[in-house]
Amino acid sequence: SDDTCAGVFLVRSGTLRVYMLSEDGKDLTLFRLNPGDVCILSASCVLKMIRFEVLIEAETDCRILVINAGFFSELAERNVWVENISYKIAAERF
């Protein structure tokens, strides 16, 4: 993983906005994360089928737990259930 691949976010409190930049540089909000939500796209470098980068910003003060991208990648490679639920969570957002 690199510096742009944060890992999997588990939101404990607050609100995060997940967005991407259009080709002309405009923000395109994809969705918001609230307490109890999981963000797999913050570890998109781990998921081979995801070919785009998202940006995440805190809209309020937040507490999040982060599962390291390297650890998560290893876990997903060794456990098909983890890999499957990761894609399911990502797909539910679109």
d(CA 93, CA 5): 19
DSSP 83: H
**Predicted TM-score of the model (pTM):** 0.74
Per-residue pLDDT of the chain (94 residues; tens, 9 = 90+): 445 678 889 999 999 999 999 889 899 999 999 999 988 877 766 666 666 778 899 999 999 999 888 898 888 889 889 888 877 777 776 6
- Give the distance from CA 19 to its chain's centroid: 11
The superfamily (CATH) of domain 8-92 is Jelly Rolls (2.60.120.10)
